[in-house]
Structure formats: structure tokens, C-alpha cells
């Protein structure tokens, strides 16, 4: 199932001209507010129409202005999870969940399995409640369930976590990871938060000023600070790793992956669980010799692949095994160390800098 | 009960019948017009808005006389409808028509306001879940605007119970056929010794109006409780 979008639209001073394709897994539309992310979502869902363009989902054209084709919203089979959830206030949670399922079963003769969706999202105890009585996190989980039960071929999520505090976000993120890995429905996810994108995305489309500034696998995009408008300081590596061991006495969990081994603050996932770790470039130190007498637990050996000036800083890309990590240094540090491409270095990360909340469950790259 | 004379009972039951029929018959057209005015931008929208509001600003006698011209036995609409056995002139049906026309602006106004207050984003969400426009209207728009629709119906009913000028001009004041409560009160005040009856019917009017208001308030409360926290 692929989504191909190529649209243009002008509203006053705002103009959008964007083309991208996305495959299975989760594609993040990333950009600052006003970059056109939400407009794109509305165009894909059919809630707005572009001046010209084409939108094709799984080979079926949903919009083609040249052929004057526009499939109405309710026949697109594209479900949305909005920032404000938009649960129907006059129906119970059960009624909201059944709403999309009813239309899906009339259309395709099969509704999604209520019990498995309820179980996956942990909303069984809420079924007889009214939306007005739910917390923000519960509301958003019900909204996700409602969208899934409509049996969509594509799920759009428009900043579903933006209205929630950090604790509620942390509560929802694992559910979205399960959704991505288990439901088998491609997801287009709008966000302006690097941490969310790093944790969830397989593919990233960077939008700036209504244009696609870059598109590619999450790890290559997020490593490049120049592609993250307004979030340069949050650039960093994404590593696919596996839980290797728990050291309860030392309070750490050991992970291993292509880059080597990392120790992170202990978190309760069984050995063998695939995880993705975000290594923000600003938290990575660079040493030209193996340091001794250092408290930092993590030293990854590698070679400098590239040096990219970013204002007063330098982004250092270090090839480690078959993957790469990034470090952000001042120009002075880079000069004093005599960093040049090809130089063997050690990348050093404090374990506690690796926030367990930032450790995602599941694989970044999907087998297609 | 209430010490009403048989004639007064007839006037009361006739009034209730006329007001109920007028209200029920206006519900669907009222909702349709309210929806058009709230949701659609079309040529002639202002004209429709003006026409709907006309009975509110015209003297009731004028509205009644216009109804007589149009729906009287010789009127174009009256003659046409008489072919199908629907006669308005000097019948209780004419009183219901006059009441419906007079209450229509009040009903449309309340319905329109509540339709405009419905969050369009909820309707969008419903359509992304596969609901076609009619289903969205029936399952989202209608239930969410129910308090306003009820309020509009009660207003129209109350107006119909009290309508006098247009009714008496259009269908006259025939006991048992077109003599509603206000007409009966008016008649009683015009005859010697009618004060007692006029007072009794006035009390009945107040009771019916208050009852309708209280009932609508209770209904609206129940609906908004359903919409709010459970």
C-alpha cells in the first residue's frame, strides 16, 4: 500500500506545493507550524481540495484535478485522528467505537475486531463512559480505536499528542508503536516534535514553507541538523538495537546494535526486545584517544565520515560499524582536536543522557 | 376541574389541537429552512430569510388577510388545495395554518442558531469514518442541535396557543371550529357577564404556557446532560 501525493494550493499568502510518496509503516510529516503539514492531511482526507493535484492510495486515484475526479471523504476509507480527538459527545465510548465500525461493515461486510482493538489500546474499562468524562490520554486512545475500527486503508494522525502533557504523551506513545508494528495499516503522522518523530517514524518528510525540503528514512533525516528547521539542536542518530541484558545492581540495561553496545538507565523490557535509541548530537562527546578514568559508560569506536559546519557549531558524522552517529561540537573543539574525515575517534555518551522515555519499542526499518 | 363550561372546554381542546398540528407540521419545513439558512450560501438567501421573518414584523391582521387572499375558497392556493379535499377557509385547519405561519420565524430562528452552534469538526470526523452526508446529519448534526430544535418547537407551540390576530382575520371566530382560547377570551370580554369565563380561560392559558415551558426546559436539561459528563 503506497500513498502518492502531488498537490498545489494557494490561499492568500500561503502556498503549498508538495509531492511525496510513502509506503508501509509510519511516515512523519515534520515541520514547524504553518509549514503546511495539517493542510496536507486535510487534502489527503478529502476535507479540503487543492487547486490542482493528484492523490493516489494503493493504486486507486482519490483525487485528480486534471480528470475532475475527487472521491468524497466518506468513500476514501482514510481515517483521521485529530489533535482534539473529536469524539462524538452524545455517544458513549462504545458508541464512538461502533460508529466507524458500522459504516465499515456496511461497506465491506466486515468490521474490525472490537475486542482486539479495545485490548490493544487498553480501553476496555472505558466503554460505557461518555467522552466528556475521559482524561486527555484516554480520549486520544479512544479516538485511535475509533479510527482503526473504521477499517481504513490509511490512517492519518494530525498532531495527536500536541494537546497532551509529557506524562500523557509517554502513556500514548507505546500504543502508537504497537499500532505501527501490529495493525498493518500505513500511517501518516504529523508532528513538529523531533522526539516523537524519532521514536515513531520509519520515513520522514520535512516540510518548510509549503514545500518538501527533504524526504528519506528517519535515521538519515534526523542526523542532519540542516534538515530540521527550528530544531537544529535536536538532530542526532537513531539506532536500532536489541535489549541484551539487565544489570539490576548497576541500574542499567545493556543494548547492542550495529554501532556497538550502549548502557541506558534500566527499563523493564525483556531481553531480546528490539528498541530504537535516539542519540541527540548535542549529548555526544568526541575523543581522539580512548579516555580513561571517565564516568561515562558508553564509548563507541568509529571513524569520522563528514564534518558539516552549522553556524558556530560543527556536526560531526561518525561511522560506527554499519551505522552512523552524529556529534555536535563547537568549531573551537573541532579545530583543537584536529578532526578530519577518516580520523579514528571515540564517541562518548553518558548513560543517563539516554532517557528511557525516548527509547522506542520496535524496528525503525521495516522489511517490505 | 377548573370549573370550565362545556363551551370553554371546547375552546381549550381546539386550541391544543390547533397548536399541536401547527407545531408538528412546521417541524420538518422549519428544520429544512433553518439548515438552508445556517449552512448554505445560495442566491436568494437574504430573500428567504426576509420571507421567513415577515410574519414577525407584519401586523398579524395583515398576515391573516394575506392568508385569506391566498388560501380562501377563491384564492389561488385555496382553490388548488380544495381539489384535494384540503380546505382552510373557516376551518380549524385554517387556524392551524395561521398559527404555523405566525410561529415559523420563531421556530426557524431557534433551530438555525443551534445548527450554527454544532462543531463542524465533529461532522468532518464522522465523514472520515465513512458516514455519508445524510448519515452525518442524522447521527451528528441532528442530535447535537436537539436542544435548539426542541426550544424552537416549544416557542412555536406557545405562539400558536396565543395567536389571535391572523387567526381571527383568516378563519373568523366560529365556536367549535375556529374559536381558539384567545378568540374565546375576546368573545367573553365582549358580552355582559363574561368576566368569569374570561378569567378562567386566562388562567388556563397561563397554565398551558407555563407547562410547555417547563416541559421544554426539562427536555433540554436531559439532552444537555446526555451531551455533557455522564
Q: Do residues B147 and B223 touch, judged by C-beta distance below 8 A?
A: yes
Q: Which secondary structure element, helix H or strand E, spans residue A30, and what is its range?
A: strand A26-30
> Cβ contacts (< 8 Å) between B139 and chain A: which residues?
88, 99
Q: Outline which parts of chain A fall under CATH 2.40.50.100.
A: 237-361
> Coil, helix or strand for A105?
helix
> Coil, helix or strand for A114?
helix
> Coil, helix or strand for B161?
helix
> Cβ contacts (< 8 Å) between B227 and chain A: which residues?
89-90, 132
Q: What pLDDT score was predicted for residue A175?
A: 86
Q: Please state the length of chain B.
A: 230
pLDDT at B2 over 70: no
Strands A60-64 and A69-70, by their bridges, are antiparallel
Q: Which residues contact A116 (CB under 8 A, 6 or more apart)?
A: none
Tens of pLDDT, residues B23-54: 999 999 999 999 999 999 899 999 999 999 99
As to burial, measured by CB atoms within 10 angstroms (0-12 exposed, 13-18 middle, 19+ buried), residue A271 is exposed
Class at the top of the CATH hierarchy for domain A237-361: mainly beta
Of the candidates B130, B144, B230, which has its C-beta nearest A74's C-beta?
Answer: B130
DSSP state of B47: H
Residues from A contacting B (CB-CB < 8 Å) are 45-47, 72-80, 82, 84, 86, 88-90, 92, 99-100, 103-104, 107, 129-130, 132-133, 146-147, 150
Strands A313-320 and A323-330, by their bridges, are antiparallel
Print pLDDT tens along chain A (368 aa).
789 999 999 988 899 999 999 888 899 999 888 888 999 999 999 999 999 999 999 889 999 999 999 999 999 999 999 999 899 999 999 999 999 888 887 766 555 588 888 988 889 999 999 998 898 889 999 999 999 998 899 999 999 998 888 888 888 888 888 888 887 889 999 998 888 898 899 999 999 989 999 999 888 888 887 778 777 778 888 888 888 888 888 888 888 888 888 888 888 788 888 888 888 888 889 998 888 887 777 888 899 998 988 888 899 999 988 888 899 998 888 888 888 899 999 998 887 667 665 667 665 544 33
The three-state DSSP-derived secondary structure of A275-314 is: EEEEEEHHHEEEECCCCCCCCCCEEEEEEEEEEEEECCEE
Tens of pLDDT, residues A258-282: 888 888 888 878 888 888 888 888 8
DSSP state of A365: S
Of the candidates A79, A88, A130, which has its C-beta nearest B128's C-beta?
Answer: A79
Q: Considering only residues 100 to 119 of chain B, which have any Cβ-Cβ distance to chain A shorter than 8 Å?
A: 119
Q: Mutate which of B117, B121, B125 to disrupt the A interface (most A C-beta within 10 Å)?
A: B125
> Cβ contacts (< 8 Å) between A77 and chain B: which residues?
130
Tens of pLDDT, residues B95-136: 999 999 999 999 999 999 999 999 999 999 999 999 999 999
Tens of pLDDT, residues B154-187: 989 999 999 999 999 999 999 889 999 999 999 9
Given an 8 Å threshold on Cβ–Cβ distance, is A129 in contact with B230? yes
Phi and psi angles of residue A22, each rounded to the nearest 5 degrees, phi first: -140, 150
Q: Outline which parts of chain A fall under CATH 3.40.50.300.
A: 3-236
Q: Mutate which of A89, A109, A131 to disrupt the B interface (most B C-beta within 10 Å)?
A: A89
Domains of chain B with bracketed CATH: 6-117+132-227 (1.10.3720.10)
Give me the long-range contacts of B28-32 (CB less than 8 A, separation at least 24). B29/B104, B30/B104, B30/B107, B30/B108, B30/B111, B30/B152, B30/B156, B31/B111, B31/B149
> Cβ contacts (< 8 Å) between B119 and chain A: which residues?
86
In chain B, the residue whose alpha carbon lies closest to the alpha carbon of A135 is B229
CA distances from A56 to A60, A217, A248, A311, B128 (A): 5, 21, 51, 40, 17
Q: Which secondary structure element, helix H or strand E, spans residue A49, and what is its range?
A: none
pLDDT at B21 over 50: yes
First-to-last alpha carbon distance for chain A, in angstroms, is: 10
> Cβ contacts (< 8 Å) between B129 and chain A: which residues?
74, 79, 99-100, 103, 146-147, 150
User: Of A308, A295, A304, A341, which Cα lies nearest the Cα of A325?
Assistant: A304
- Chain B nearest-CA distance from A362, in A, is 28
As to burial, measured by CB atoms within 10 angstroms (0-12 exposed, 13-18 middle, 19+ buried), residue A336 is exposed
Specify the CATH superfamily of domain A3-236.
P-loop containing nucleotide triphosphate hydrolases (3.40.50.300)
> Coil, helix or strand for A332?
helix
Would an 8 Å CB–CB cutoff place B126 in contact with chain A?
A: yes
Tens of pLDDT, residues B194-229: 888 999 999 999 999 888 888 888 887 887 777 654
Alpha helix positions (H), A26-92: 37-45
> Cβ contacts (< 8 Å) between A146 and chain B: which residues?
129
Q: What pLDDT score was predicted for residue B230?
A: 38
Q: What pLDDT score was predicted for residue A368?
A: 34
Amino acid at each position: 500500500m503506497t500513498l502518492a501525493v502531488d498537490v498545489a494550493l494557494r490561499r492568500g499568502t500561503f502556498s503549498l506545493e508538495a509531492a511525496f510518496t510513502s509506503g508501509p509503516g509510519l511516515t512523519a510529516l515534520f515541520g514547524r507550524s504553518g509549514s503546511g503539514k495539517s493542510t496536507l492531511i486535510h487534502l489527503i482526507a478529502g476535507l479540503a481540495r487543492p487547486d490542482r493535484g493528484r492523490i493516489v492510495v494503493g493504486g486507486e486515484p482519490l483525487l485528480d484535478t486534471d480528470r475532475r475526479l475527487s472521491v468524497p471523504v466518506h468513500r476514501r476509507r482514510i481515517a483521521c485522528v485529530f489533535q482534539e480527538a473529536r469524539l462524538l459527545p452524545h455517544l458513549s465510548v462504545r458508541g464512538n467505537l461502533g460508529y466507524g465500525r458500522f459504516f465499515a461493515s456496511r461497506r465491506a461486510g466486515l468490521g474490525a475486531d472490537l475486542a482486539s482493538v479495545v485490548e490493544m489500546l487498553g480501553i476496555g474499562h472505558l466503554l460505557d463512559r461518555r467522552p466528556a468524562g475521559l482524561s486527555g490520554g484516554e480520549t486520544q486512545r479512544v479516538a485511535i480505536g475509533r479510527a482503526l475500527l473504521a477499517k481504513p486503508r490509511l490512517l492519518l494522525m494530525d498532531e495527536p499528542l500536541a494537546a497532551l502533557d509529557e506524562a500523557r504523551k509517554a502513556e500514548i506513545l507505546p500504543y502508537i508503536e504497537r499500532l505501527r508494528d501490529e495493525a498493518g495499516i500505513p500511517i501518516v503522522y504529523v508532528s513538529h516534535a523531533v522526539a516523537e518523530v524519532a521514536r515513531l517514524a520509519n520515513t520522514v518528510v520535512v516540510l518548510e514553507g509549503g514545500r518538501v525540503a527533504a524526504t528519506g528514512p528517519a535515521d538519515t533525516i534526523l542526523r542532519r541538523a540542516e534538515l530540521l528547521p527550528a530544531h537544529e539542536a535536536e538532530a542526532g542518530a537513531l539506532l536500532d538495537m536489541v535489549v541484551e541484558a539487565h544489570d539490576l545492581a548497576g541500574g542499567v540495561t545493556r543494548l547492542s546494535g550495529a554501532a556497538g553496545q550502549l548502557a541506558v538507565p534500566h527499563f523493564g523490557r525483556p531481553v531480546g526486545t528490539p528498541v530504537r535509541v535516539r542519540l541527540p548530537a548535542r549529548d555526544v562527546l568526541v575523543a581522539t584517544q580512548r579516555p580513561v578514568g571517565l564516568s561515562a559508560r558508553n564509548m563507541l569506536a568509529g571513524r569520522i565520515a563528514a564534518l558539516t559546519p552549522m553556524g558556530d557549531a560543527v556536526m560531526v558524522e561518525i561511522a560506527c560499524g554499519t551505522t552512523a552517529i552524529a556529534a555536535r561540537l563547537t568549531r573551537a573543539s573541532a579545530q583543537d582536536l584536529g578532526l578530519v574525515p577518516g580520523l579514528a575517534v571515540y564517541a562518548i555518551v553518558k548513560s543517563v543522557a539516554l532517557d528511557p522515555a525516548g527509547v522506542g519499542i520496535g524496528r525503525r526499518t521495516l522489511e517490505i | 376541574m377548573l370549573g370550565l363550561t362545556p363551551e370553554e372546554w371546547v375552546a381549550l381542546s381546539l386550541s391544543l389541537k390547533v397548536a399541536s398540528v401547527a407545531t408538528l407540521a412546521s417541524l420538518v419545513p422549519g428544520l429544512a429552512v433553518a439548515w438552508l439558512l445556517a449552512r448554505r450560501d445560495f442566491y436568494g438567501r437574504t430573500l428567504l430569510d426576509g420571507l421567513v421573518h415577515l410574519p414577525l414584523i407584519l401586523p398579524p391582521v395583515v398576515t391573516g388577510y394575506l392568508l385569506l387572499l391566498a388560501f380562501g375558497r377563491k384564492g389561488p392556493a385555496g382553490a388548488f388545495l380544495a381539489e384535494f379535499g384540503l380546505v382552510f377557509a373557516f376551518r380549524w385547519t385554517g387556524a392551524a395554518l395561521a398559527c404555523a405561519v405566525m410561529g415559523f420565524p420563531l421556530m426557524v430562528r431557534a433551530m438555525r442558531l443551534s445548527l450554527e452552534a454544532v462543531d463542524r469538526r465533529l461532522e468532518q470526523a464522522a465523514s472520515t469514518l465513512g458516514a455519508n452526508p445524510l448519515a452525518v446529519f442524522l447521527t451528528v448534526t441532528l442530535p447535537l442541535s436537539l436542544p435548539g430544535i426542541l426550544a424552537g418547537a416549544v416557542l412555536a407551540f406557545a405562539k400558536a396557543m396565543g395567536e389571535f390576530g391572523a387567526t381571527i382575520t383568516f378563519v373568523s371566530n366560529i365556536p367549535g371550529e375556529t374559536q381558539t382560547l384567545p378568540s374565546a377570551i375576546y368573545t367573553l370580554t365582549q358580552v355582559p357577564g363574561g368576566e368569569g369565563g374570561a378569567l378562567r380561560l386566562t388562567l388556563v392559558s397561563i397554565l398551558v404556557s407555563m407547562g410547555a415551558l417547563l416541559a421544554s426546559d426539562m427536555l433540554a436539561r436531559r439532552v444537555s446532560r446526555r451531551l455533557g459528563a455522564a
